[in-house]
Structure 1
């Protein structure tokens, strides 16, 4: 097992610490300034898993500290594998005349970026489909900007009922 220097000594070479705890010690007639290291320890089961009964989990004294910093945060998060499983009201189906009800959602987090809203949306299937449709519409809008020929074709397609019916028949095949 490799020997690690304390995090405080490594940080001093990289950047000064944000929290500095000092105290003054009187040694003879002189006063010395001593600095205490600032270390935070957090205990807890963060995986989101049930982990069984308290007897099945490792005892507190058998657990080890895991040093976490900006360089290994994603690795530590991947090792913990936090997840969230819940049921939410299905407002998307209800808005389009569907049955509504509840939607089962399971979110997994392996990197810090997985907590961003767009990453969460990609993990929920109905929301992912809406995000893809939004992206396609934004792409179409960007293509139409300054493209008069494409705009004319779209206006023509929207005015012709036969063209709309043909597009409607082709749409399910295109989305598969």
Structure 2
């Protein structure tokens, strides 16, 4: 590749453009097609409540974002949201605080968000433990009989509850 080649020409070789705009130019008796570069610029504050100090809006520069460097750009901006949500997880109700930080596209996945919200994380951990227990019960009749006996007896259940709460 030539050093003075434009970025559009380089990108054309790597991945074809999604938008191609051309116009016809008459040069003498011939008509020549000219291609217009399609460049979109978006300016704004996308950092949310980032803990990283961001430059003033007028001092910011355009950042070229593509699928290859998206996570790197996210890590540099480190968007963050902080808010309070209604507590639908317990009968007490009320609200609890939520703080979400995003350093990559993976952080937007539901399982990543759950890991950042403590009450949801506790529920997921309990669900995982129950699934593990269910898997251990499959085919283990002796363990299944012991658990059935404990769950049918309120005294044994209370004793087990006291032992696990210590």
TM-score bracket for the superposition, by shorter chain length:
0.7 to 0.9
User: Which stretch of the first structure deviates more once superposed, 115-124 or 75-84?
Assistant: 115-124
Following the alignment from structure 1 to structure 2, what is the Cα–Cα distance between the partners of residues 170 and 70? 52
Give aligned pairs, total: 162
1:121 equivalent in alignment to 2:114: yes
- Structure 1 length normalisation: TM-score? 0.79
Unaligned runs of 5+ residues in structure 2 are none
Matching of residues 21-170 of structure 1 within 5 Å: 21-49=21-49, 58=56, 60=58, 62-93=59-90, 95=91, 98=92, 100-170=93-163
Q: What is the RMSD computed on CA atoms of the aligned residues? A: 2.6
Quote the offset at 1:24 in angstroms: 1.6
Following the alignment from structure 2 to structure 1, what is the Cα–Cα distance between the partners of residues 146 and 10? 63
Deviations 1:88-145 (A, max 9, x none): 122223x2xx3x3221111111111111222112111111101111111122223333
| 1:101/1:169 CA distance change after superposition, 3 Å | same
Contact 2:50–2:78 (CA<8 Å) still a contact in 1? no
- Structure 2 length normalisation: TM-score? 0.83
Following the alignment from structure 1 to structure 2, what is the Cα–Cα distance between the partners of residues 82 and 128? 21
Unaligned runs of 5+ residues in structure 1 are none
Quote the offset at 1:87 in angstroms: 1.3
